[in-house]
Amino acid sequence: MAKVSDQLKRPFSYTYNVVVLVLLLIFVSLPKVNRMSARIVARRLGSKLLHRFAPAATLHSHATSFGFKEVNEEEKSQLVGNVFTKVASNYDIMNDLMSGGLHRLWKDRLVSKLSPFPGMKHLDVAGGTGDVAFRILESINSVSRRATEDTLEDDLQEETQIYVCDINPNMLNVGKKRAQERGLGDLGSLVWVEGDAEKLTFKDDSMDGYTIAFGIRNVTHIEKVLAEAYRVLKKGGRFLCLELSHVDTPVFKQLYDYYSFSVIPVLGELVAGDRDSYQYLVESVRRFPPQEVFASMIADAGFQKVEYENLVGGVVAIHSGVKI
C-alpha cells in the first residue's frame, strides 16, 4: 500500500514543484515594490493547484493544530477555551512579564492606525480584557476634547458604540471588572458580547472598524474569521489585526526561540501555576502563518490595500485591510 500511495503522490508532487519553481523565478526577477502582489497571486494559484492535484485524503482532513499537536476540529475550541479560562485571572500580569510591557505600546500602535472617531461603531474581537477597547475610547475622548463644536461632539460621543466580543466568559468578566475600576462600568458606549469570531451575530455592513489582538491564531478556521470580519464591516471599514508573528533575522530568531520555549513556560508555571497553557501559547505562534501568507489570506477574504507592519523585528505584526 505504501508504494502505491507514493506512486499516486508523484504526479501531484512533480506538477506542484514545477509550478512553484516557475513562480519563484518570476518572483526574484520582480522589483521589490511589486513582490507583495506577486506573493498574493502565487499563493492563490498554488492554492488552486493544491485543490486540483492533492490526494482526496489531504483535502478532506478534519484535523487542526493545537500548538504542536494535531487534534480534531471539534476539540480545538474546547481546548483553547480551557487555556483562556485558566489564564484569565493572570492575563494582564503575564502579558507584562512576557513582553516586558511592550504589549502596551503595540496596542497603542494598533489603535493609532485605526484612527478612531466620535460616533463610530467598532467591533473588537477576542478583546475580553478590554485593553484595546479602553484605548479606542480614550482616543475618541481625546478627539472630542480637541473639537470646537462641543454640542455636536457630545451627540456623536453618545452614538459611539465599542463592542467587545469574546468567546470566553471568564475573559469578559476580567474586562468588565477593569471597566468598573476605570469608571467605565456604566458607560453605554462600551458593550460586552459573548460570541464566536467564526460566527458573529452582528448585521452585515454594520461596523466602521474591526480589531483583533492576539486572538486570531487561536481560532479553528482563520478564513472564517476573516470572512466574518469582511461581512460585518461597512464599505470603507478597516480591518486591523495585531498578532505575534515570525522573526526572520537568524541570530535574533535563535534568541527569541530560546526565550519563547525556555523562559515563557517557566514564567507561566511560577506566576500562574500553569506551564502547559503558556507552552501552548508559544507553540501556537509558531503554527500561525508567516506575515506574507497571512496577508494573502486577508486579500483572499476580499480586503483591499492589504499591508502589514513588523514590530520588534517581526515578534509581532499589525496587518490591515480595507473593505471597498
Write the CB contacts of 158 (distance below 8 Å, at least 6 apart in sequence): 188, 189
Is residue 85 marked as binding? no
Phi then psi for 94, rounded to 5 degrees?
A: -70, -35
Using CA atoms, how far apart are residues 189 and 209, in angstroms rounded to an integer? Answer: 15
DSSP state of 320: E
Using CA atoms, how far apart are residues 238 and 233, in angstroms rounded to an integer? Answer: 7
CA–CA–CA angle 65, 299, 60 (5° rounding)? 40
Is residue 300 marked as binding? no
**What phi-psi label fits residue 204: left (phi over 0), alpha (psi between -120 and 50 degrees) or beta?**
beta
Is residue 58 marked as binding? no
Is residue 166 marked as binding? yes
Using CA atoms, how far apart are residues 268 and 24, in angstroms rounded to an integer? Answer: 42
Binding-site residue numbers for S-adenosyl-L-methionine are 129, 166, 196-197
Binding-site residue numbers are 129, 166, 196-197
